[in-house]
Amino acid sequence: MKFFALIWSNLRRKKVRTALTVGSFAVALFLYGLLAAIQTAFNQGVEVAGVDRLVVRNKVSLIMPLPVSYRERMLQIPGVKTVTYATWFGGYYQDPKNFFPQFAVEKETWLKMYPEFKVPRGEWEAFLQDREGCVVGRKTAERFGWKIGDRVPLVASIFGGVWEFNIRGIYDGTRSEDDTTQFWFRSDYLEERRTWGKGMVGWYVVQVADPNEAASVAEAIDSRFANSPWETSAESEKAFAAGFVKQVGNIQLLILVIGGVVFFTLLLVTGNAMAMAVRERTAELAVLKTIGFTDASVLWLVLGESMACALQGGVLGLAAAKLFTLRGDPTGGFLPVFYLSPAKMALGLALTLAVGVASGIIPALLAMRLKIVEALRRV
């Protein structure tokens, strides 16, 4: 590290070039941060999935319901600990564009199934007391400016009419990835008001006693209802969420391609800048060698310069991306979470340093192999 001052003054020699190289890194890492946040948003369901939870839906498709009576029958299956259910409401607030998910939930078991969601005890008690009560996620409550005690009308595009709910509670997630856009209300209220499809629920969530037995329990559930008019398809919550991600398309590939193009371009830009820096300083490097700098230290000098650019740019870009994600979802409610995790940031920094090394290595090797006599003779 004794060459630190030398690297630093080399960087300051051509301020514009250094600024541009650092800027390129910052831009690339900013983009990386955005893509990582988007990827997290799409995979959110997979990442927060509980290992001990199964989702049971109608075998034909998710839009087909299942009878409410299945709950008791599932509870008899060995290995099943808790069973809860929910129904998709599909309403909207004021404008069809204001999308957020609404579920009619089984009030006794829903919260027990999802320990990651926190509702103050008093608020939950109030929800249990009020047939028209509902509990809303923090994000949705903030989006529409809802407070506890508000009465909100939702247009029910599936069930018809306008339904009014009293907000009795606001829930929070325990992790940054938890989805706090949901809206829960009581299934007994839905049952009372719906004009068709009574006695049916959208899907079941089953908690298994031992996560290692999840697969066999899922199989037992499906075979229990095989050949009935309402066949089931049970799978782990993770597989269920992953299925959804796959349906949206190959997001992973798209992000990898864009990221790859960006980093390749970055490699070219910085590689070129470093090569030019070395070419300009040929005579100077020869002088350094003449006064006793070893080949290795010349190598490190050049490499150190490109890595210093990378590090500064990387930190700058990641910080900007983090700030951008803190401002919230840019698509206006389409992404359930928009969050850049520390792990993804660390990976980004590692990638930057790797590009810093890769772009500096060829000029550095050239500098190392420089023959003093030839270099001094040049120009």
Partner 1 sequence: MSPIPLIYNVRSVRARWRGNLVAVLGIAGVVAVFVAMLSMARGFQLTLVDSGSPSNAIVMRGGATTEMESVVTREQIQVIAGAPGVAHDEEGHPLVSGEVFVVAAFHHRASDSDALAPVRGVSEQALKVHRGVRIVSGRFLRPGLAELVAGKSASTMYSGFGLGDTPSFGGRTWRVVGIMDSGGSAFDSEVWADQPVLSQTYKRPEDLFSSVTVRLTSPAALGDFKRALASDPRLTVQADRETDYYAKQSRAVSTMIRVLGFLVASVMGIGAVFGAFNTMYSSVAARAREIATLRALGFGGASVVLSWMVEALFIALIGGLLGCIVVLPVNGLTTSTLNWQSFSQIAFAFRVTPDLLGKGLLFALVMGFVGGLLPALRAARMPVASALREL
Q: Is 268 in the site for partner 1 (CB under 8 A)?
A: yes
Of the candidate residues 2, 5, 12, 16, the single one contacting partner 1 (CB under 8 A) = 16
Q: Is 21 in the site for partner 1 (CB under 8 A)?
A: yes
Q: Is 36 in the site for partner 1 (CB under 8 A)?
A: no
**CB-nearer residue toward partner 1: 128 or 319:** 319
Of the candidate residues 7, 11, 30, 308, the single one contacting partner 1 (CB under 8 A) = 30
CB of 144 to partner 1, least distance (A): 19
The answer to whether the CB of 286 falls within 8 A of the CB of 370 is yes
Of the candidate residues 261, 323, 343, 350, the single one contacting partner 1 (CB under 8 A) = 261
Q: Is 24 in the site for partner 1 (CB under 8 A)?
A: yes
**CB-nearer residue toward partner 1: 242 or 319:** 242
**CB-nearer residue toward partner 1: 28 or 214:** 28
The answer to whether the CB of 48 falls within 8 A of the CB of 178 is yes
**Angle at which helices 295-326 and 342-369 cross, to 10°:** 160
Reduced to 3 states (helix: H, G, I; strand: E, B; else coil), residue 197 is coil
Q: Is 190 in the site for partner 1 (CB under 8 A)?
A: no
Q: How far apart are CA 98 and CA 242, in angstroms?
A: 25
Backbone φ and ψ for 69, nearest 5 degrees, come out as: -70, -15
Q: Is 250 in the site for partner 1 (CB under 8 A)?
A: yes
Going by the DSSP 8-state scheme, the letter that residue 120 receives in this structure is -
Q: Which of 341, 334, 340, 337 is nearest to 139 (CA)?
A: 337
Query: Binding residues for partner 1, how many (CB under 8 A)?
Result: 53
The answer to whether the CB of 339 falls within 8 A of the CB of 40 is yes
Q: Is 127 in the site for partner 1 (CB under 8 A)?
A: no
Q: Is 236 in the site for partner 1 (CB under 8 A)?
A: no
Of the candidate residues 4, 8, 144, 264, the single one contacting partner 1 (CB under 8 A) = 264
Q: Is 13 in the site for partner 1 (CB under 8 A)?
A: no
* 240-247 own/partner pairs: CB under 8 Å, 24+ apart: 240/45, 240/49, 240/55, 240/57, 241/45, 241/46, 241/49, 242/45, 242/46, 244/45, 245/42, 245/43, 245/45, 245/46
What beta strand segments (E) does 89-220 contain? 91-92, 102-105, 117-118, 133-137, 151-156, 162-173, 183-186, 200-201, 203-208
Angle at 195 between CA 192 and CA 233, to 5 degrees: 85
Q: Is 247 in the site for partner 1 (CB under 8 A)?
A: yes
Q: How far apart are CA 184 and CA 220, in angstroms?
A: 29
Interface pattern 53-92 for partner 1 (x via CB under 8 A): ------xxxxxx-------------------------x--
The answer to whether the CB of 107 falls within 8 A of the CB of 114 is no
**CB-nearer residue toward partner 1: 128 or 262:** 262
**CB-nearer residue toward partner 1: 10 or 207:** 10
DSSP per residue over 35-66, as a string? Answer: HHHHHHHHHHHHHH--TTEEEEEESS-TTS-E
- Taking contact as CB under 8 A, which single stretch among the options 134-142, 181-189, 214-222, 225-233 is the one that binds partner 1? 225-233
Q: Is 326 in the site for partner 1 (CB under 8 A)?
A: no
Q: Is 39 in the site for partner 1 (CB under 8 A)?
A: no
CB of 158 to partner 1, least distance (A): 5
For the chain, what's the residue count? 379
- Taking contact as CB under 8 A, which single stretch among the options 44-52, 102-110, 243-251, 366-374 is the one that binds partner 1? 243-251
* CA dihedral sign, ordered 112, 113, 119, 124: negative
Q: Is 262 in the site for partner 1 (CB under 8 A)?
A: yes
Binding positions for partner 1, rule: CB under 8 A: 16-17, 20-21, 23-24, 27-28, 30-31, 34-35, 38, 59-64, 90, 96, 155, 157-158, 160, 227, 229, 231, 233, 242-244, 246-250, 258, 261-262, 264-266, 268-269, 271-273, 276, 330-331, 334, 379
